[in-house]
A = this chain, B = another copy of it.
Amino acid sequence: MSQERDTRTAFMEATYRALCTHGYADLTMQDIADETDKSKAALHYHFDGKDDLFREFLAYLHEGFAETIADHPEGTPVERLVALVRRVLDPVDDSADQQFNTAFMEIKAQAPYREGYREVLRRFDADLRTEVADLVREAIENGQYDEETDPEEIAEHVLTYIHGTWTRAAAVGADVVAMREHLVDDLLDLLVDGASVPVDVDATEDRGLAAADPDEPHENSSEDVVDPR
Contacts and interface: CB of A to CB of B under 8 A. Distances in A.
Interface of A: 23-25, 98-99, 102-103, 105-106, 108-113, 118, 121-122, 125, 145-146, 148-150, 153-154, 156-157, 159-168, 170-174, 178-179, 182, 186, 190, 206-211
A102 B106 contact: no
B172 A156 contact: no
**Copies of this chain, count:** 2
B190 A207 contact: yes
A21 to B, nearest CB: 12
A148 B211 contact: yes
Contact of A209 (B99, B190, B207): B190
A113 B153 CA distance: 36
Contacts of A113: 23, 102
Give the interface SS of chain A, mostly helix, strand, loop or mixed: helix
A208 to B, nearest CB: 5
Nearest to A95: B112
5 contacts: A112-B173, A153-B209, A153-B210, A157-B209, A163-B167
Most B CB within 10 A of own CB, among A122, A157, A160, A208: A160
Contact of A122 (B118, B167, B172, B179): B172
A211 B157 contact: no
A51 to B, nearest CB: 14
Given A149-B208, A163-B164, A209-B190, A109 B156 contact: no
A208 B112 CA distance: 32
Contacts of A145: 207
A220 B31 CA distance: 55
Nearest to A104: B109
A113 B174 CA distance: 16
Contacts of A112: 98-99, 102, 170, 173
Contact of A186 (B25, B103, B209): B209
Given A108-B170, A164-B165, 11 more contacts: A25-B106, A102-B109, A118-B171, A118-B172, A118-B173, A148-B208, A153-B210, A157-B182, A157-B186, A160-B161, A163-B168
